[in-house]
Chains A and B, each alone.
Chain A
Amino acid sequence: DTGVSQNPRHKITKRGQNVTFRCDPISEHNRLYWYRQTLGQGPEFLTYFQNEAQLEKSRLLSDRFSAERPKGSFSTLEIQRTEQGDSAMYLCTTGGTGGSYTFGSGTRLTVV
């Protein structure tokens, strides 16, 4: 039991399609983060929320990416007009600065 549920686990999509991922923390957390992990690399920060407010976005988050956390609980990450370079594992995590970070199992996106 990871404490953070991510769906779907795997997603294969054709280039140009839109995809949406969901992250559900099992317990309440003020802060929620999205990271992207490409093959052979460590995770890279994308964005984070404090409650429903999106407070920081990485340069990696192009205009085709949008993230929401409407009620301060679950979060969604949408990628529009997917490109092959978007193929990666998308990780959601909760936690606070200096504290323990709980990662979800991730959503593996493959763009063909």
Chain B
Amino acid sequence: AQTVTQSQPEMSVQEAETVTLSCTYDTSESNYYLFWYKQPPSRQMILVIRQEAYKQQNATENRFSVNFQKAAKSFSLKISDSQLGDTAMYFCAFIGRGDEKLTFGTGTRLTIIP
């Protein structure tokens, strides 16, 4: 069974600064996908970024980028030039290729301070 661990329950950062959220996972699979999802207060969960394990290049989406270390089973999210709208719960998630179940971490509550 896969596990996803987010060791930072809460983080806060000043607006415009850069912040990194940590995620580690455990799996015996070699082909899988990793995700970061954002859940703003009282709003639906949305996909921030997706990484395919067989791709060595780190995924980027505008201000969001990941540091994917497959050997270390680490998948951190970096948010550059943070904005007030980035305030949310952030969940790291894993799914094995061919599997149907997302496994989520417990989340990191990120607060951007004006």
Contacts and interface: CB of A to CB of B under 8 A. Distances in A.
A103 B102 CA distance: 12
A105 B44 contact: yes
A101 B46 CA distance: 8
Interface string B14-39: 00000000000000000001010100
Nearest to B95: A97
Interface residues of A, number: 24
B101 A56 contact: yes
Contacts of B70: none
A91 B46 CA distance: 12
A85 interface: no
A48 B44 contact: no
Interface in B68-114: 91, 93, 95, 97-107
Interface of B: 4, 33, 35, 37, 43-47, 50, 52, 91, 93, 95, 97-107
Interface of A: 2, 4, 31, 33, 35, 40-45, 48, 55-56, 58, 91, 97-98, 100-101, 103-106
